[in-house]
Amino acid sequence: MQPPSTKAATVNARIAPAAGLDVLSRQEVARLRDVGDGTGGLHELLRRCALAVLTQGGASDDARALLDRYPDFDIQILQQDRGVKLELTKAPAEAFVDSHMIVGVNELLFAVVRDIVYVTTQIEAGRFDLTDSPGITNAMFEILRNARVLRPNIDPNLVVCWGGHSIGRDEYDYTKRVGYELGLRAFDICTGCGPGAMKGPMKGATIAHAKQRRRNNRYIGITEPGIIAAESPNPIVNNLVIMPDIEKRLEAFVRIGHAIVVFPGGVGTAEEILYLLGILLHPENAGIPFPLIFTGPSESAAYFEQIDRFLRLVLGGDVAKRYTIVVDDPRGVARLARKGIERVRLNRLDNQDAFFFNWALHIEREFQLPFQPTHAAMAALNLHRDQPPHRLAADLRRAFSGIVAGNVKEEGMHAIEKDGPFDIDGDRDIMQALDALLASFVAQQRMKLPGARYVPCYRVHAG
């Protein structure tokens, strides 16, 4: 048997939107085009995000490997009499069937154009106030509304699922079983849109939704430009949203979700956990119900025991009151989610808060401002106990965010190649627990896809 060719098959095509985006202004088209006069500042961003969509379901978590595989890929915006079209040059052939683009790929591709144009033009027009907390939340609301993610007149039913993109087969099958049980109970699914634990729940839910003859199902994928190439959207996503940065992506999850289920993962999943727990530990959020369930198959029991020990050690024993650990019980997870979401519904009614957006949740600027993981910024993180637990969680989240950047984001990878690993320092017991947790992720191949040798992008010190 001959090994498959490493040369990627490509297609040239001109496509019209299957749904959604119809027209753009001349100025918007100029910004997105590579016209060689300095106005095409968004073209490279569009090219990278579009390529990730066209290769949805890819197995590589190296953002640069995707560009290396399709070095000649290009995308141009055409404004014609009947609306917008996209001209693709040397696009991945896997996005086409018999010379026709797959409809779902078409929809996500034009969602990329929609979000890049909207966010950029609104920011440049001064529409968004990104200097204070209410302004940042409002900007995120506007982006989600423009993407038609926010649906009124629907009872709370959106379950956000977090977890690793590089998980074992047993763990992946378990995420499908949980998604199936959630789907039987008429829950929609929102994930980070990639493979692994982001795909499994959606795949399970699609079968359950079909059995229940449920239509208009939502499989929402929320991503951001720095991560989309490493976690390209899985084929089940039918509503893709590209947020400007990781912080707004994380806030979007907790604002629109009615419960969160966390499957096994690596540093990205740890970042998400610390982000949410840091918010929930704030005194102003003490009375807000927010179902949070950690779950996995019996093979993952030790993983969650280690996560639980780490959280209790660094944030205090009370943190465990904010989550429930369920091992090898998909039906139990779905039932817990249903009970928790009913509490959410009643709380929103009592407080006259919207079902489709959690306005009442207090989120401080530390969790909203974009963190640039430079060597200096990583070394300056305050990972000591001389602060409230929610603020310690904020900087711990940034530490994990920096490691994610060093692992899979092009800018972070360049920084590591140039100046070596990030240095992380703090209280001795916190650093020892952090080092042990990260070492376990490496040993379990949760940092990279199986088969890839992992070289740490960090050094943990005990000050």
Out of 359, 374, 404, a domain closes at: 359
Co-location of 346 and 449 in the same domain:
no
DSSP 286: T
Co-location of 323 and 181 in the same domain:
yes
Quickly count: other Cβ atoms within 10 Å of residue 127's Cβ: 12
Q: What is the pLDDT of residue 63?
A: 56
Co-location of 233 and 312 in the same domain:
yes
Co-location of 373 and 335 in the same domain:
no
Q: What is the pLDDT of residue 57?
A: 60
Question: How many whole angstroms separate alpha carbon 180 and alpha carbon 171?
Answer: 14
Question: How many whole angstroms separate alpha carbon 448 and alpha carbon 11?
Answer: 30
Co-location of 180 and 311 in the same domain:
yes
Co-location of 282 and 157 in the same domain:
yes
Count of domains in the chain?
Answer: 3
Decide if 128 is inside a domain.
no
Co-location of 326 and 211 in the same domain:
yes
Structure tokens at 371: 């963190």
Decide if 332 is inside a domain.
yes
Question: How many whole angstroms separate alpha carbon 149 and alpha carbon 144?
Answer: 6
Has this prediction a pTM greater than 0.85? yes
CATH assignment of the domain containing 71: 3.30.1850.10
Rounded to a whole number of angstroms, the distance between the first and last alpha carbons of the chain is 56
Structure tokens at 130: 């990104």
Q: Find all residues with CB under 8 Å of 98, minimum gap 6, and list them.
A: none
Q: Find all residues with CB under 8 Å of 429, minimum gap 6, and list them.
A: 313
Structure tokens at 188: 């929609």
User: Can you give the residue range of the structural domain that contains 413?
Assistant: 366-462
The answer to whether 139 and 115 have CB atoms below 8 angstroms apart is no
Q: Which residues pair with 189 in a beta bridge?
A: 159, 219
Out of 359, 387, 417, a domain closes at: 359
Place of tokens 């001064």: 126
Co-location of 213 and 335 in the same domain:
yes
Q: Strand, coil or helix: what is 22?
A: coil
- The dihedrals phi and psi of 190, each to the nearest 5 degrees, come to -130, 130
CATH assignment of the domain containing 325: 3.40.50.450
Between β-strands 219-223 and 324-327, what pairing exists: parallel, antiparallel or unpaired? unpaired
Q: What is the pLDDT along the chain (463 residues), one digit of tens a residue?
A: 344 445 679 999 999 888 766 678 877 887 888 655 555 578 888 999 999 999 876 555 555 677 788 999 999 988 876 678 899 999 999 999 998 999 999 999 999 999 999 998 888 778 888 889 999 999 999 999 999 999 999 999 999 999 998 899 999 999 999 999 999 999 999 999 999 999 999 999 999 999 999 999 999 999 998 888 778 899 999 999 999 999 999 999 999 999 999 999 999 999 999 999 999 999 999 999 999 999 999 999 999 999 999 999 999 999 999 999 999 999 999 999 999 999 999 999 999 999 999 999 999 999 999 999 999 999 999 999 999 999 999 999 999 999 988 888 888 889 999 999 999 999 999 999 999 999 888 888 887 654 567 788 999 987 5
The answer to whether 378 and 423 have CB atoms below 8 angstroms apart is yes
The answer to whether 363 and 418 have CB atoms below 8 angstroms apart is no
Decide if 120 is inside a domain.
no
Question: How many whole angstroms separate alpha carbon 211 and alpha carbon 262?
Answer: 25
Decide if 117 is inside a domain.
no
